[in-house]
A = this chain, B = another copy of it.
Amino acid sequence: MSDGLNMSRRQRRTPYTDRVEKAGVRGFSVVNHMLLPKAYQKTVEEDYWHLREHVQIWDVSCQRQVELKGPDAARLAQWMTPRNLSGAKVGQCLYVPIIDDNAGLINDPVLIKLAEDHFWLSIADSDVLLYAKGLAIGAGMDVSVTEPDVSPLAIQGPKAEDLAAKLFGEPVRKIGFFRFGWIDFEGTKQLIARSGYSRQGGFEIYLHGGHLGGALWDAVWDAGQEFNIAPGCPNVIERVEGGLFSYGNEMTRENNPLEIGLEKYCSLDGSVDYIGRAALVKIAAQGVTQALRGVIFDGDKCPTCSIPWPVLVDGKQVGQITSAMWSPRLQKNVGVGMIGRDHWKPGQPVQVDSRDGQLRAGSISDFPM
């Protein structure tokens, strides 16, 4: 399969793309109309081990912010998600599934509460800004919906805290998981959160002001030398093993949040109102018929999963895998996908049709693998 990406202004570069290119990027994905580095010089397996042992710098600018600000900002935020936000505090980051009137997933961003009337939605790959604008215009809400000049840079891996403390001061060590604080950088105040799209720990700096991108990258890079820093990106092996799901891969508008295992982010008792509540309550009452599960399976290294792969029991399809990769730690292939409820118990033997002529024996697994 050809894998060339045709460049244009429409596939937006980030404040770090110049540095990313100098660091030897080999491939990109496109998220929110923006370049996401996806491969450097290391193989995805080398990258996996490095991420688990050291620290990496990731250009995740494509996690665009949708800013909600104004008298109706809190009301709009709550209307968009089944998660009860009534107890949310300034300084908190909250994972908030967004659903439509059929309870279909539109996105699964992180909500950053900057003030009682000021939020950022740090989004996965869909134009949440247009949805929020449509809702605000349609309902006549008094709220501004914009995309600020904010480009997150992630520092991920077990040495991320030492690196962040060296660079930005010891107080960053006190920032709790999914909490944020503020650091000084080149005379500006910047938001730093203990978060990121890996299970190895780390921080995301929500750089406000793209002109500072090169300087921030260089500062992290230079300070990271003693920690064996490398350029990196979300690692598919690590995230599949860890049960981190990807909007557009593991979930689409065809899926509801209960299938994704997001019950704890869904208020179903009527204490808050939101779009899709009636549909979601009905689904909860009936019980979901499929859910995301891990699948560990045999055979040589599996190919790229760019179309869902059938998962079979006794020759009958019982689910599909949507992301998969060879795990050098487990010495097996690892995948994630939707599995029907009759076969979703861990240990269930299955076969995976990896669309390369192979039927691979495997079994259902919990997360983390």
Q: List 13 A-B contacts (CB under 8 A).
A: A1-B21, A5-B27, A5-B28, A7-B306, A9-B305, A9-B322, A10-B246, A11-B29, A126-B127, A127-B131, A130-B130, A134-B136, A138-B141
- Given the known interface contacts A7-B1, A9-B305, A304-B7, the answer about A130 and B138 at a Cβ–Cβ threshold of 8 Å is no
B323:A9 contact, CB within 8 angstroms: yes
Per the 8 Å Cβ criterion, residues 138-166 of A in contact with B are 138-141
Q: Which residues of B contact A357 (CB under 8 A)?
A: none
B130:A126 contact, CB within 8 angstroms: yes
A206 to B11, CA, bound (A): 26
Determine the residue in chain B with the shortest Cβ distance to A106: B130
A6 contacts the other chain (CB 8 A): yes
Determine the residue in chain B with the shortest Cβ distance to A139: B138
Cβ contact of A134, chosen from B13, B131, B304, cutoff 8 A: B131
Determine the residue in chain B with the shortest Cβ distance to A7: B306
A127 to B248, CA, bound (A): 13
Which residue numbers of A lie inside 8 Å of B, CB to CB?
A: 1-11, 13, 21, 25-30, 33, 38-39, 100-101, 106, 125-128, 130-141, 246-249, 275, 304-308, 322-323
- Given the known interface contacts A101-B137, A249-B10, A306-B11, the answer about A5 and B29 at a Cβ–Cβ threshold of 8 Å is yes
A26:B4 contact, CB within 8 angstroms: yes
A138:B127 contact, CB within 8 angstroms: no
A125:B10 contact, CB within 8 angstroms: yes
Q: Which residues of B contact A138 (CB under 8 A)?
A: 134-141
A355 to B221, CA, bound (A): 26
- Given the known interface contacts A3-B7, A7-B1, the answer about A134 and B130 at a Cβ–Cβ threshold of 8 Å is yes
- Given the known interface contacts A138-B134, A138-B139, the answer about A5 and B8 at a Cβ–Cβ threshold of 8 Å is no
A293 to B71, CA, bound (A): 41
Determine the residue in chain B with the shortest Cβ distance to A4: B27
Cβ contact of A29, chosen from B8, B135, B136, cutoff 8 A: B8
B130:A128 contact, CB within 8 angstroms: yes
A275 to B11, CA, bound (A): 27
